[in-house]
Amino acid sequence: MHYFETEFIKYKNNELFIENVKVSELIKQFGTPLYVYSKNHFINQYKKFDNAFSEIDHQVFYAMKSNFNLSVINTFVQLGSGVDVNSEGELFRALKTGISPTKLILTGVGKTKDEIRLGLDKKVMMIKAESEEEVELINKIASEMNVIAPVALRVNPDVDAKTHPYISTGLSKNKFGIDSSTALSIYRRRNEFNNIQFTGIDMHIGSQITTIEPFVEAISKMSDLYFQLRNEGLELKHFDVGGGIGVQYNNEKSFTLEEFAERTIPLFKKLNCKILFEPGRYLTANGGILLTEVLYNKQNGNKKFIIVDAAMNDLLRPSIYQAYHHIQPIEQHKDRIDIVADIVGPVCETGDYFARDREIIKTYSGEFLAIMSAGAYGMTMSSNYNARRRPPEIIVDKENVFVSRSRETFDHLLWDEKIM
């Protein structure tokens, strides 16, 4: 088998380390399943992103849906990042870091009245509207509150991001955004919305995109709309590109950030306004691992299974997206053979698996595996299915270990439940 390593998660003397901490020591201290994050991976990714666009006026907004751990959010806030919040709960969590609400963007295709009121009450930088009815509702609520709502429209450029259909968001058949002609009509009728100030134009075509062309096509389409609006007298303050830049989970051939900047900066310079980005996965995915113990090896006919103590409730992506996560032992054994096996969890679902027909080095009960690239859409999508407790989240900063969230207790699962 091959081994997946990053700058901050790698083997030293055949043992897996995260920064300067031996993974086996974390397991001894905290047990499994266990999420562990590299703080310096997050810092590195953010600085790389921010620096790539240093020659234009821009602002990065961390898309916290990828990882809403408070310490992770705060890491980016301390670096100067804004935050993209997608619900009342995410807004509540982001504010816990002490971030100024003026550095928050409130997004989401189905915002409730309460979420809109909360966004206006906290004075978020802008609310991203995704339908004509939502624009009308924001205007009505802002009027009742006697405020002017800063609003940007999320315009659907009808571009194929060439990614998994569940995470493609830029086609007209997807639920997200407003088509260009409807958006143009809304912007042109801006005088009808007395309590709205249109501040920008936004797009987001999907997630885990590994080619630049869809971005270039979408930015070009949105630029045409931007210039048309400017010619009609609407001065927009920002152009929001969204997120979606792919990361390496296996052997994907993705573009580099430098290539992305080189292709897009000339397009952005023509716009002459602030460019906003909303990276999530790019900042966090390869900064996290999920550690799990091998419980059993078994064979049904010719089929081999490695049964581990983590499950689909801890990391859902393989089950719902058939997503690839590299899986490797925390100790390298050069003398062992490779086998082909399904790596599965203990939950009562056939879909409870992390890998199917995966080539992996032979492992034994009581040994440990690391499920890589688990820093994005891991804990945020976890659940208590089968009444399982969600894992702790540990953050490593060089040789320092911080417990950002401890393992749930059974009492915690029952905290507000009563028997009638």
Q: Answer for the pair 38, 289: CB distance below 8 angstroms, yes or no.
A: no
Residue 348 known to be catalytic: yes
Tokens 């897996």 correspond to what residue? 16
Structure tokens that stand for 411 in this block:
């009492």
Q: Answer for the pair 174, 155: CB distance below 8 angstroms, yes or no.
A: no
Residue type, 272: N
Residue type, 16: L
Longest dimension (CA), the chain: 74
Distance separating alpha carbons of residues 176 and 167, to the nearest angstrom: 11
Q: Please spell the DSSP secondary structure of 285-296, one letter per residue.
A: GGGEEEEEEEEE
Q: Any long-range contacts for 123-127 (C-beta under 8 Å, 24+ apart)?
A: 124/85, 124/91, 124/150, 125/82, 125/101, 125/150, 126/150, 126/151, 126/152, 126/199, 126/200, 127/151, 127/152
- Report CA 22 to chain centroid distance, whole Å: 26
Catalytic residue among 348, 387, 419, 420: 348
| DSSP-derived 3-state class of residue 77 | helix
Q: Is the dihedral of CA 19, 25, 30, 31 positive or negative?
A: positive
Active site residues: 348
